[in-house]
């Protein structure tokens, strides 16, 4: 008789069952609204993208190893029976260790989905997420200080011109560059949530992008490899700010305080958001423009 499946194996099996890559979260959300449900945030209890699966699985595996090493739990049923207690204790430790509000919130979301409870660790108050606490890509004059820039000039310029994510840059092919004479676009075949989008190349940077692909075969990856320590988000931020200023003809929104009425070009913000693959105005204002 074979061995009983262990904790990690059981967790992987559950994660497999929670995957719904062919279904659309937006449709489930629309159905919930049609039923009269109201919500600030929405989850249908499924993972619709492989990126979400990768992120959540890493967080859940770390938590389950903690359950095994600290509490001696070896079966998923044992963890299920104490899920609220264990998650609350784990997040409390992480909070005391100084992990960011965004990390803690993401971890709690992963655990709530995995255990099928939207109120897991409800009694634990997580620190609020304030824009002023965001340090990523903001406070360094040399975000790529661990990268030799002269070795990657074409790549860095391409990132500033397109604002693509790491996975998107890795997967982009020569044939994904479209020049329609008035505008150059980059086709992202699988962006956030597995969605396709066309990203406008920053006006004035078109020639550089076209030069990179000149004479190359359509099915070739534009960049064969990416440096490990490259700060991709810093380049996405530069692209977002430059593209917003191009579209709006206005300066960037003030970095602190409330936004006065009329200071933001909301159409330009939405266009930048779509180019980045977010389609959310608040994300662009919080993480990219301010």
pLDDT tens digit string along 163-172? 999 999 999 9
Beta strands in the chain (DSSP E): 177-179, 184-188, 197-200
For residue 224 the two structure tokens come to: 């064969």
Report pLDDT for 37.
67
Phi-psi category of residue 259: left, alpha or beta, with phi > 0 → left and psi -120 to 50 → alpha: beta
C-beta of residue 209 within 8 angstroms of C-beta of residue 177: yes
Distances (CA, A) of 94 to 7, 57, 88: 22, 17, 10
pTM comes to 0.62
Report pLDDT for 21.
79
Residue stretches of the chain with pLDDT short of 50: 1, 40
For domain 149-289, the CATH architecture is Orthogonal Bundle (1.10)
What DSSP string runs through 31-76?
HHHHTT---SS---S-B-SHHHHHHHHHHHHHHHHHHHHHH---SH
265: closest CA among 255, 252, 278?
A: 252
Distance CA 91, CA 177 (A): 44
For residue 207 the two structure tokens come to: 């020639």
Domain boundaries, the chain: 7-129, 149-289
> What's the pLDDT tens digit per position in 165-191?
999 999 999 999 999 888 999 999 988
233: closest CA among 134, 140, 165?
A: 165
C-beta of residue 18 within 8 angstroms of C-beta of residue 45: yes
Report pLDDT for 236.
95
Report pLDDT for 1.
43
Report pLDDT for 178.
96
């Amino acid at each position: 008789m074979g061995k009983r499946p262990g904790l990690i194996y059981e967790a992987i099996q559950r994660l497999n069952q929670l995957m719904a890559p062919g279904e659309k979260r937006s449709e489930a959300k629309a159905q919930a609204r049609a039923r009269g449900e109201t919500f600030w945030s929405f989850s249908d209890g499924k993972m619709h993208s492989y990126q979400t699966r990768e992120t959540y699985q890493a967080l859940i595996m770390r938590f389950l190893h903690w359950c095994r090493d600290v509490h001696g739990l070896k079966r998923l049923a044992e963890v299920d029976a104490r899920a609220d207690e264990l998650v609350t204790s784990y997040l409390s430790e992480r909070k005391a260790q100084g992990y960011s509000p965004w990390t803690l919130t993401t971890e709690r979301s992963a655990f709530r989905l995995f255990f099928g409870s939207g109120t897991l660790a409800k009694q634990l108050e997580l620190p609020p997420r304030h824009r002023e606490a965001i340090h990523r890509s903001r406070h360094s004059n040399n975000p790529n200080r661990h990268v030799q820039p002269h070795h990657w000039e074409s790549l860095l310029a391409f990132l500033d011109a397109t604002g693509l994510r790491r996975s998107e840059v890795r997967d982009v092919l020569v044939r994904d560059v479209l020049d329609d004479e008035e505008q150059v676009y980059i086709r992202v075949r699988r962006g956030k949530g597995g969605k396709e989008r066309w990203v406008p190349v920053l006006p004035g940077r078109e020639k550089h992008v076209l030069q990179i692909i000149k004479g190359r075969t359509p099915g070739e990856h534009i960049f064969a490899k990416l440096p490990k320590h490259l700060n991709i988000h810093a380049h996405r931020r530069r692209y977002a700010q430059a593209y917003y200023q191009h579209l709006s003809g206005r300066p960037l929104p003030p970095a602190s305080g409330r936004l006065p009425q009329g200071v933001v070009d909301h159409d330009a913000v939405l266009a930048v958001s779509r180019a980045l693959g977010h389609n959310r105005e608040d994300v662009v204002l919080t993480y990219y423009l301010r």
